[in-house]
Amino acid sequence: TETILKVDDLKVWFDVKKPGAMPWTRPRKLKAVDGVSFELNAGETLGIVGESGCGKSTLARAVMQMVPIEAGSVVWLGDDLTGLDTRRMRPHRKEMQMIFQDPLASLNPRMTIGQIVAEPLKTHFPGLSAAKVKARVQDVLDTVGILPNLVNRYPHEFSGGQCQRIGIARALIVDPQLIICDEPVSALDVSIQAQVINLLMDLQKETGVALIFIAHDLSVVKHISDRVMVLYLGNVMEIAPAAELYDRPLHPYTEALISAVPIPDPVLERQKQVMLLDLDLPSPLDPPSGCVFRTRCPIAEPGCAQVKPVLADKGREHLVACHLR
């Protein structure tokens, strides 16, 4: 298999000031992504899981060069993208598309869905005839299950699930090699979530597109992912083939997330979550020393505060960052 994306020791740090801070106060560093490395193969799906604020979206945006990179590198199809500006990213952006969490908000309300879906095609292939664009729009709308005769309707005339299908059509129209899906189903009803995930899996089978699928919940990425990466406070805790990760989780954080996988009763679910991850997520502005998970870790030892664990290879493509595993 061919590696299409190689992310190496990537760091994205933001300068932030406390609200109401004096103008001369030095900003503090928020280490949103703090040394993340992974590779993605052609046609593969990598699930990325973690709580809100763990750096998932920032990591996705860093791959697309939508945020400034502090250190490390992003290599795409052999080209180093690190730090490229919008203009220099344009030829690569054709290959890597993105879909977002809030389907309606990510579609321009003043454009018809035909115009919205056509836009990336017109940007990247400005010479294409109107007839060819129209035919391709009809084609991708049909692929995602939106009736092509609805092209002149506006986004607000569609449901959340339909809007996400339109977002997927817009990503597909340029025939990308990678679609980064940033919590694409988090805002949708559970029944609709499965439809959108199945659609993405079907499209992948048909086109061979690779996916990075971000979610805050391990159960959402279980069926779609070939491999799963677990993030915590901007650090990779564990990465493994999906079956291996769910059957033999090695990191205490992954274990807690798996035990907290939502069960249908919302009240029980909440109690279970509270039981297993009962301590608050520390501020990313002030992460714990040593292992960033240690303030919530049920098996932490004194040494965990001293030395940050590195991702170690445990065989079977299973990597974990924990001194005790």
324 interacts with ligand SF4 by CB under 6 A = yes
293 interacts with ligand SF4 by CB under 6 A = yes
Q: State which of residues 291, 311, 318, 319 lies at the interface with ligand SF4 (CB under 6 A).
A: 291
Interactions with ligand SF4, residue window 241-260 (CB under 6 A): 252
* Tokens at 208, concatenated: 């061979």
322 interacts with ligand SF4 by CB under 6 A = yes
The least distance separating ligand SF4 from the CB of residue 254, rounded to whole angstroms, comes to 10
Number of residues counted as binding ligand SF4 (CB under 6 A): 12
- 10 Å CB burial of residue 37 (0-12, 13-18, 19+) is middle
> Which among Mg ion, ligand SF4, none contacts residue 57 (Cβ within 5 to 8 A by kind)?
Mg ion
Selection from 246, 248, 298 nearest residue 275 by Cα: 298
> Which among Mg ion, ligand SF4, none contacts residue 297 (Cβ within 5 to 8 A by kind)?
ligand SF4
Q: State which of residues 197, 297, 311, 319 lies at the interface with ligand SF4 (CB under 6 A).
A: 297
x/- map, 50-69, Mg ion, by CB under 5 A: -------x------------
> Which among ligand SF4, Mg ion, none contacts residue 309 (Cβ within 5 to 8 A by kind)?
ligand SF4
Q: Which residue is nearest to Mg ion (CB)?
A: 57
162 interacts with Mg ion by CB under 5 A = no
**Only segment of 69-77, 195-203, 204-212, 298-306 that touches ligand SF4 (CB under 6 A):** 298-306
What is the per-residue DSSP string for 30-67?
A: EEEEEEEEEEEETT-EEEEE--TTSSHHHHHHHHTT-S
- The rounded Cα 129 to chain-centroid distance in angstroms is 34
x/- map, 197-226, ligand SF4, by CB under 6 A: ------------------------------
Contacts of range 142-146, beta carbons closer than 8 Å, 24 or more positions apart: 143/169, 143/172, 143/203, 143/206, 144/168, 144/169, 144/172, 144/199, 144/203, 145/199, 146/113
What is the 3-class SS of 221-262, one letter each residue? HCCCCCEEEEEECCEEEEEEEHHHHHHCCCCHHHHHHHHCCC
225 interacts with Mg ion by CB under 5 A = no
CB 238 within 8 A of CB 227: no
Selection from 293, 290, 269 nearest residue 280 by Cα: 293
How many degrees, rounded to 5, is the angle at CA 121 between CA 117 and CA 125?
A: 165
The least distance separating Mg ion from the CB of residue 308, rounded to whole angstroms, comes to 24
Beta-bridged to residue 215, according to DSSP, are 49
Contact set with ligand SF4 (CB under 6 A): 252, 291, 293-294, 297, 299-300, 304, 309, 322-324
Contact set with Mg ion (CB under 5 A): 57
